[in-house]
A and B are shown apart, each in its own frame.
Chain A
Amino acid sequence: MKVGVLALQGDVREHVSSLIACGVDPISVRRIEELNSIDALVIPGGESTTIAQLAEHYELFQPIRKRIADGMPAYGSCAGMILLADRILDAIEGQKTFGGLDITVRRNAFGRQVDSFESDIDFNDGGSQKVHAVFIRAPWVEEIGKNVKVLATVISPDGQSHPVAVQEGNLLATSFHPELTGDHRIHRYFIEEIARPALVRGGRR
């Protein structure tokens, strides 16, 4: 199985390290040939506006959109969650996403950098241990479609509960950054529970 990390901008190196720790040998994806060679894609944290802009200019935007629509497993953290969402709020005019996840995501929902935080949260992958989650100018999920599974939630300062980790089919997204903590549980979940089974079902390994 060949896993790529979208390497247009953001914390690519940290995702690469996390994936290596999960026993895969990831490649950086900046070009169409690299995209065509991979079985699964990780979209890193960064600025969603910058990543979308660069993808569009280098003719990766539509091909990534199409591969995701055709079932390529993908995981996005923070900006990656925004890019996987079908609908976004507080976006800049004309901001596009790769889409695929039937969710509405609010950008910078938790506030500015002074509101960025760390917290131990439950992650519903069957494990009992909490996940230490790092939220940086993070988005949250405002609405979910009927086939979307919520894997983690966080209570915002106004007392409301918001999904911060969701899955629909082969797509996984988190508002937080597991790549920054050295705990590889989320990456392992993506590789072992989503990407590998999907490839086996699809006849590829």
Chain B
Amino acid sequence: MSQVTGTGRVKRGMAEMLKGGVIMDVVNAEQAKIAEDAGAVAVMALERVPADIRAQGGVARMSDPDMIEKIQAAVSIPVMAKARIGHFVEARILESLGVDYIDESEVLTPADYENHIDKWDFKVPFVCGATNLGEALRRINEGAAMIRSKGEAGTGDVSNAMQHMRKIGGEIRRLSSMREDELYVAAKEMQAPFELVKEVAANGKLPVVLFTAGGIATPADAALMMSMGADGVFIGSGIFKSGNPAQRAAACVKATTFFDDAKVLAQVSRGLGDAMVGINVADLPAPHRLAERGW
């Protein structure tokens, strides 16, 4: 009876188990515990949430292994961590720590402006960001087992996440309506492998789970993204940069499950205190826009 680890099926399957859930950014064991108790399906361990990376500037890198291990010891739910785009050594280190998922993330400063990590070469699965279908399929082609739409992380402004979910959804619907002989040109135009384009056209969905991320700050934001067809949501700065993290975290978990029930949404949106202050994406100068990193 042979047992095979690190297969495409266990990598993609792991993301299937997170569906309908909220993955929360945490910077220490105490926050991780709050997230778990609030019903998070996983936590993302990082040193600074995107709002702070934005405020403090400088190069943002993989987190300290000590800090990741403390979070792993504190919770029973999956622990994810971020590596810089193209930084396969950071990814190897995270894999050796036994993190459950690696986010090759544009929120950190890229280590390689041409290539992403060859994710097939790892046992640990990867999630990557995408602003459109072509970008999502290029990441899947490199071995990503889960995709999240990019938003503008650390802003509390949901408009970019919305734009990218609409874009990805719209492109999938367009492919589904095409004749098979038109898919060759579609693949060329979106710079994506033909086989993956064909698969998406046939199934009407990505071959991996699609979460959404970036700028989600309220239960209503989470529900909006679920209504747009997201399989689940990442919430970064939105929870622990708000007035009452435990209550807001639990409210976002409920809003994700009952995204189509306005009564539940009204009830969980009450009395949450101050949301994170937020930055309008339109006010950000283009070089500071994270979603434009990655290609």
Binding site for B on A (CB under 8 A): 7-14, 30, 45-47, 49-50, 53-54, 57-58, 78-79, 90-92, 107-108, 111-121, 134-137, 154-155, 177, 180-181
Contact = CB atoms under 8 A, between A and B. Distances in A.
Contacts of B4: 117-119
B166 interface: no
A112 B100 contact: yes
Nearest to A44: B17
Interface stretch (B47-55, B58-66, B250-258, B273-281): B250-258
Contacts of B104: none
B251 to A, nearest CB: 11
A24 to B, nearest CB: 21
10 contacts: A46-B21, A47-B42, A54-B257, A112-B99, A116-B13, A117-B10, A118-B3, A137-B14, A155-B1, A180-B16
A11 B82 CA distance: 25
Contacts of A180: 9, 13, 16
Given A49-B77, A116-B13, 7 more contacts: A9-B41, A11-B13, A12-B19, A116-B5, A118-B4, A137-B17, A181-B9
A11 B39 contact: no
A132 B187 CA distance: 34
B13 A136 contact: yes
Nearest to B100: A113
A49 B16 contact: no
B76 A120 contact: no
Interface residues of B, number: 41
B98 interface: yes
A118 B7 contact: yes
Given A11-B17, A114-B98, A180-B16, A49 B123 contact: no
Contact of A107 (B6, B13, B76, B123): B76
B100 A9 contact: no
B69 interface: no
A70 B191 CA distance: 57
B37 interface: yes
A47 B77 contact: yes
A12 B17 CA distance: 9
A10 B13 contact: no
B39 A113 contact: no
B36 interface: yes
Contacts of B2: 119-120
Given A113-B125, A119-B1, A180-B9, A47 B17 contact: yes
Chain A CB within 10 A, most for which of B13, B39, B99: B13
Contacts of B36: 49, 92
Contacts of B40: 50
A9 B257 contact: yes
A179 B19 CA distance: 14
B207 interface: no
B41 A137 contact: no
B211 interface: no
B240 interface: no
A119 B3 CA distance: 5
A192 to B, nearest CB: 25
Contacts of B142: none
B225 to A, nearest CB: 15
A134 B9 contact: yes
Interface string B69-98: 000000111100000000000000001001
Contact of A90 (B42, B76, B101): B76
Contact of A46 (B9, B20, B75, B123): B20
